[in-house]
Amino acid sequence: METEATRSILPMLAFALPIVAAMLTVPARRLSERARDVLLIGTATAVAAAALVLAAGVAGGTVYEMYILQLTPKIWMYMRVDAAGALFGATVAVLWLLALVYSLGYMRGEHRLGRYYSFFILCLAWTMGLAYAGNLLTFLIFYELFSVLTYPLVVHEETPEAMAAGTKYIIYILVGGTLVLLAIVLTFFSAGTQTLASGGILSADTDPMTLQAIFWCFLIGFGVKAAIVPLHGWVPDAHPAAPAPFSAVLSGVMVAAGSFGIIRMIFQVFGVSLLKSLDLAPYLTGFAAFTVLFAAALAVNQENLKRRLAYSTISQMGYVTLAISLLGMQSTIGALVHITNHAFMKGGLFLCAGLFIRRLGAYNVHQLDGAARRMPVTAACFTIASLAMIGTPPLSGFTSKWYLGLGMLETGNPWLLAVLLGGALMAAIYLLPIVYRMYFREPALTPEDLTLTEGREAPMTMLAPLVVATIITIGLGIGASLPGLPVALARMAAQAFFQ
Amino acid sequence: MEVVDARVAIAPAISLLCAALVFAAADHTFWRRFFSLSAALAKLIIVMSMLPGALKGVVYTFDLVEFTPGVGLAFRADALGMFFAVVSSTLWLFTSIYAIGYMEREPNRRRFFGFFALCVSTTVGVAFAENLLTLFLFYETLTICTYPLVVHDETPEAMRAGRTYLAYTLTGGAFVLLGSIWTYQLAGTMTLSQPGILTMEAGRTTLTALFVCLIAGFGVKAAIMPLHGWLPTAMVAPTPVSALLHAVAVVKVGAFGVLRTIYNVFGVDLLQELGVCDWLAALAGITIIAASVIAIFQDNFKRRLAFSTISQLSYIVLGAALLSPLAATAAIVHIANQAFAKITMFFVAGSIQRTTGKTAIHEFAGIGYRMPYTMGAFTVAALSFIGIPLFAGFVTKWYLSLGALESDQWIYALVMLGSSLLNAAYWLPIIYTAFFKSPREDALVHEAHWTMLGPTLLCAAYVLLLGMTVSVPGMPFALAQAAVKFVFGM
């Protein structure tokens, strides 16, 4: 289904605007704090609008493209918005906007805000570019830039833990990025062409050893970012160390960027039929299934809330990888939808975690006793997101898992349903006790604690993004079958992949 | 199409004239600056004026003198030479501006700027040399002209470094001379205008010996291990000199000599048959990795830069030794990519030293907030060396990896990727120290003088431009391609 593409400047604006905004952040702050806020929010809103317009257009059957820079005589920086990219792009842009609004409240009074906001908005640019990249080199450019230039956000707090987490992060990511580069070089050398195409761009008569090498390099490279066990080491350290709004996007879309890379690799570099003939996908299934269960089991014992959520992310992204590895139509829809759904669920949970830290000084699960009485809205949002994460109908988490389950049956792997349900069960085990504590335990805070923190609901700038994320989580579940929403786009993408 | 044009001779001559004028200007600071800058500018204009023609395929030649029939001084600006000349004359302008700021209060400025100009004069001479004799002549003159710059501080340490430098490079020069004469005897000509002048008739052993001789000669300046000993020692020189040594003139002349030997003396086909390039590639691969590993353990900033240079130069040698068109493209464009990134770093090193007096990396804590623009430029250069896409270094890494696959030696693709990780291991800690470590001295934002900051930022901008697009104004990728096409007869 390689339809005739329409030229559009929107894919370029989606990443060019944040770059400009990043450069203007510090000068705008000299003007006034308000000017900076307007600049940041305005940019993020514009990007979100562009992403939604593109998604709507793609849902209507158009494919957008744009040639930007001639990188080498043969290769252009080329953006192409297909259904998968449009869905991911829209998810990224909307979540980013929420996290940014939240940041304005959360980061007030923090140090080095110029650095924080510049890199935060810059990171949006790279992620949007990643979503809309039309060939492998363009993909690599944005992948590497966003991997490396995220470092200042990971270590923002500059505590010894944050610095250690940052070092771990950069080592994992650089090694992963190098493997991705190797894979792309090998692909380019074997296939020559670079435009990502639905049938795959590698031909079946390529040397099998080379194909194996490409597959494993891609898998390990992207697997680092997608946090496939045993490549997940950086995730549980980076999340608690980073500021909450950044944790939200880190978990929500940046880990997913690795999964997105795997999707591009499997369906558009190899192509379904070639991969089936190579018989490599079952390995991926094995790793992914292990990831789902292993990370969920570890999450149960985490006392630090953000750390627990980080393990949950690893487990949930395992679902996505698992779904992709089945090479089935329904499961692919499930994978794409789950990326979007997870972004808002987990984003919401991290925003809650941030509020608990700021308003109650609560970093650990046991400090949340009775939190619902002080912060009813936050607690309600946390509960809804938790239920969605477990997969309770009609919330969004259910939709994606439904397709996943269908896919497992469709591809003849009913035993994997055990993994699906096991993961969901364990999500209940690591999330519901928190809900229980918030509602049914006596408040843990002493009056002395409350002199240090507000101890009540946060102001609107922080609460509103959280509520919106929660509404999206509910809406994506209830309205799953409406046209133009993730399921419809994911179906278009999957149809293209399996053409 | 060949056109006789005096500009190829004027370009090197201008710096010569400049040197004479600087010496004549004695202690008049204004005139010294005026001559230095206007000569740099004039040369850049002349070289650039040849660029449109060169891009259309015109080759400018000029025979200066002929000693005996077929042996003489002659200039010829082919694509490869033009590329090198464009890079070095652009950077000369930047370095001259920087040097004026840096050397503000140093003694012996007349000697410094005089020999500085001479060095560049000879570099362009090497770029435009039509035959091995001309090449040798300028190569050797460069060695001698750099000596007063290396020992500029006249400390016992500097004098010692100067002696080491001379010992290495003069020996190398002797090998080049021997190789040149031998080539003349075998081929009956010394011209560099052909894609190879030697043939298999000379015998395998002879050719191998000749190859070793020429590569050893040029390899000294290109700092191929184990011939690199002089380079870290020569770091005692003032920073603009180090920049010139490392980025523009001395080392690049060595690398350029290696390229000329491989492409124009032997030729790709002959070398493929001879098989000696596998050894050269292996040596370059080892140098790339070993020098990077050593660099990790250097705490002195300039010494770390020196080992990085050794590693980076071998990218060029490796690219040439792989004998594939894509790798050759990498080798040629890396002349520019390495030059701009490395000179940025040296400018940064100099600025830090001048403004804060710090030379050891562990002393740089928090310096990123004191000199944000300077360290920003450094970050750009560092990311380029690591090979992050959109930075110049990535272009090299990309083509060299592809070239390694093309010549069926995938191990060098792994070497490239390993090297970029090693680069990360020794550049990122500096960025970390500068931006993320206390003590912060925010209140003391204090950048270097604009004459030093300006060139630094310009070079950093070039690093970005070179990485982003093939059509950088005045830094034509097309020339590198033309050179590759000529060499490989495509």
Q: Is B468 on the interface with A (CB under 8 A)?
A: yes
Report whether B344 contacts B456 (CB < 8 A): yes
Give the integer Cα–Cα distance in Å for B407 and B324: 6
Model confidence pLDDT, tens digit, residues B35-62: 778 888 888 888 888 888 887 778 888 8
For B402, the closest of A73, A175, A188 (CB atoms) is A188
Rounded to 5°, the CA angle A376-A378-A381 comes to 110
Residues A175, B406: C-beta atoms closer than 8 Å: no
Residues A178, B420: C-beta atoms closer than 8 Å: yes
Residue A62 main-chain phi, psi, to 5 deg: -95, 150
Q: Is B433 on the interface with A (CB under 8 A)?
A: no
Q: Is A186 on the interface with B (CB under 8 A)?
A: yes
What are the counts of helices (DSSP H) followed by strands (DSSP E) for chain B? 20, 3
Element (H, E) at B454: helix B450-468
Instruction: Show the domain range for A296.
Output: 5-497
pLDDT over 90 (residue B270): no
CB atoms within 10 A of CB B229: 15
Q: Which residues of A touch B397 (CB under 8 A)?
A: 181
Report whether B375 contacts B433 (CB < 8 A): no
Model confidence pLDDT, tens digit, residues B68-93: 777 788 888 888 888 888 888 888 88
Q: Which residues is A135 bridged to in the sheet?
A: A195
Which of A242-256, B101-115, B154-168, B302-316 has the weakest average pLDDT? B101-115
Q: Is A189 on the interface with B (CB under 8 A)?
A: yes
What pLDDT does A383 receive? Answer: 92
Residues A185, B406: C-beta atoms closer than 8 Å: no
What pLDDT does B336 receive? Answer: 86
Residues B470, A163: C-beta atoms closer than 8 Å: no
Q: Which residues of B touch A137 (CB under 8 A)?
A: 389
For B390, the closest of A70, A141, A186 (CB atoms) is A141
For A140, the closest of B389, B405, B417 (CB atoms) is B389
Q: Give which of B306, B341, B350, B375 is closest to B103, Cα–Cα.
A: B350
CA dihedral B163, B167, B173, B174 (to 10 degrees): 140
Report whether B315 contacts B330 (CB < 8 A): yes
* Average pLDDT over every residue of B327-341: 87
Please name the residue of chain A whose CA is at the shortest distance from the CA of residue B410: A186
Pairing, β A5-7 against β A63-70: parallel
Q: Is B388 on the interface with A (CB under 8 A)?
A: yes
Give the integer Cα–Cα distance in Å for B325 and B321: 11
Please name the residue of chain B whose CA is at the shortest distance from the CA of residue A166: B432
Structure letter (DSSP) for residue A377: H
In sequence order, which residues have a C-beta less than 8 Å from that of residue A131 and are 6 or more positions away? A85, A86, A88, A89, A92, A260
How far is the alpha carbon of B267 from chain A, nearest alpha carbon, in Å? 25
Please name the residue of chain A whose CA is at the shortest distance from the CA of residue B400: A185
Q: What is the mean pLDDT of chain B?
A: 83
Please name the residue of chain B whose CA is at the shortest distance from the CA of residue A72: B470
Model confidence pLDDT, tens digit, residues B181-196: 888 888 888 888 888 8
**Orientation angle between helical segments B325-356 and B301-321, nearest 10 degrees:** 170
Give the pair of three-digit tokens for residue B475: 């830094």
N-term to C-term CA, chain B: 17
Q: Give which of A8, A91, A109, A100 is closest to A48, Cα–Cα.
A: A91
Return the amino acid letter for A6. T
Give the integer Cα–Cα distance in Å for B221 and B214: 12
Omega before residue A73 within 30° of 0, cis: no
How far is the alpha carbon of B40 from chain A, nearest alpha carbon, in Å? 30
Report whether B274 contacts B401 (CB < 8 A): no
Residue B489 main-chain phi, psi, to 5 deg: 60, 35
Q: How far is CA B282 from CA B212, B262, B288, B314, in A?
A: 14, 15, 10, 10
Element (H, E) at B355: helix B325-356
Q: Which residues of B touch A156 (CB under 8 A)?
A: none
Residue B471 main-chain phi, psi, to 5 deg: -110, 60
For B388, the closest of A71, A148, A158 (CB atoms) is A148
How far is the alpha carbon of A174 from chain B, nearest alpha carbon, in Å? 7
Q: Is B411 on the interface with A (CB under 8 A)?
A: no
Instruction: Show the domain range for B451.
Output: 2-487
Give the pair of three-digit tokens for residue B427: 């550049």
Q: Give which of B340, B451, B295, B468 is closest to B394, Cα–Cα.
A: B468
Q: Edge to edge, what strands does the sheet with A5-7 contain?
A: A5-7, A63-70, A76-81
Report whether B394 contacts B387 (CB < 8 A): yes
Omega before residue B439 within 30° of 0, cis: yes
Number of domains observed in the structure of chain B: 1
What pLDDT does A3 receive? Answer: 53
Number of domains observed in the structure of chain A: 1
Q: Which residues of B touch A144 (CB under 8 A)?
A: 388-389
Element (H, E) at B250: helix B250-260
pLDDT over 80 (residue B27): no
For B470, the closest of A70, A144, A145 (CB atoms) is A70
Q: Is B471 on the interface with A (CB under 8 A)?
A: yes
Q: Is A159 on the interface with B (CB under 8 A)?
A: no
pLDDT beneath 50: ranges in chain A: 1-2
Confidence of residue B439 (pLDDT cuts 50, 70, 90): low
Residues B389, A137: C-beta atoms closer than 8 Å: yes
Q: Which residues of B touch A145 (CB under 8 A)?
A: 388-390
User: Which residue, chain included where needed, has tokens 């929660």?
Assistant: A470
Structure letter (DSSP) for residue B73: E
Please name the residue of chain B whose CA is at the shortest distance from the CA of residue A155: B436
Give the pair of three-digit tokens for residue A69: 């820079």
Residues A178, B388: C-beta atoms closer than 8 Å: no
For A182, the closest of B417, B436, B469 (CB atoms) is B417
Q: Is B389 on the interface with A (CB under 8 A)?
A: yes
Omega before residue B226 within 30° of 0, cis: yes
Residues B469, A155: C-beta atoms closer than 8 Å: no
Q: Give which of B399, B487, B397 is closest to B79, Cα–Cα.
A: B487
What pLDDT does A314 receive? Answer: 92
Residues A148, B436: C-beta atoms closer than 8 Å: no
Please name the residue of chain A whose CA is at the shortest distance from the CA of residue B379: A149
Rounded to 5°, the CA angle A427-A432-A438 comes to 145
Q: Give which of B289, B284, B377, B379 is closest to B331, Cα–Cα.
A: B284
What pLDDT does A446 receive? Answer: 60
Q: Is A68 on the interface with B (CB under 8 A)?
A: no
What pLDDT does B64 receive? Answer: 78
Residues B469, A70: C-beta atoms closer than 8 Å: yes
What pLDDT does A412 receive? Answer: 85
Q: Give which of A194, A219, A204 is closest to A278, Cα–Cα.
A: A204
Give the integer Cα–Cα distance in Å for B262 and B274: 12
